[in-house]
Amino acid sequence: MLNRSTFLRTCMAAAVVAVAATGCGQMRPSEKIDIYEATLSGAQEVPANASKGRGAAEVMFNHNTSKLTWKITYSDVTSPTMGHIHGPAPMGKNAGVVIPFANVITQPIQGEAVLTSAQAADLMAGLWYVNIHSTQFPGGEVRGQLQRRQ
């Protein structure tokens, strides 16, 4: 039979182990997240256009999961038809679609995708841009190059 002192030490040891085990389950590597932003306008289209449309994009990239999430808003765009993230291309050059947006009619435009390592490298190099297309400007009404927030 256990005496009182042995019983208390056993309970104390069990409590220490339980607390330690609980804490271990919550330990995670810190997440590295970069935020990219773009201001969209017709002046940034290639070739530039005279649209009064404007927009803003905020894109977050989680390096731990390779997940990209975005939130895009716009105003004064004439009958938007589609939108995409394009790349790889520096500012002033055109490129193909990397990520299509499911719906550009409802704002904000939001979504997520998992990037390949090559896509992540292009994003981090500043080679992606957001483009909103419309009936009046089928090649793109407003565009903005994604730049990492400092």
Phi, psi of 15 (to 5 degrees): -65, -40
Answer whether residue 2 is part of any domain. Answer: no
Residue 5 lies in a domain: no
Q: Does a structural domain hold residue 142?
A: yes
Is 7 within the bounds of a domain? no
Helix (H) or strand (E) holding 21: helix 4-25
Cα torsion 113, 119, 121, 125: sign = negative
C-alpha 90: how far from chain center: 19
Q: What is the pLDDT along the chain (150 residues), one digit of tens a residue?
A: 555 555 445 444 444 444 444 444 444 568 899 999 999 999 999 999 999 999 999 999 999 999 999 999 999 998 999 999 999 999 999 999 999 999 999 999 999 999 999 999 999 999 999 999 999 999 999 999 999 998
Give, in degrees to the nearest 5, the angle at Cα 83 between 137 and 111.
165
What is the pLDDT, as a whole number, of residue 2?
53
Question: From CA 65, how far away is CA 30, in angstroms rounded?
Answer: 12
Number of domains forming the structure of the chain: 1
Q: Is there a domain that residue 21 lies in?
A: no
| pTM, 2 dp | 0.79
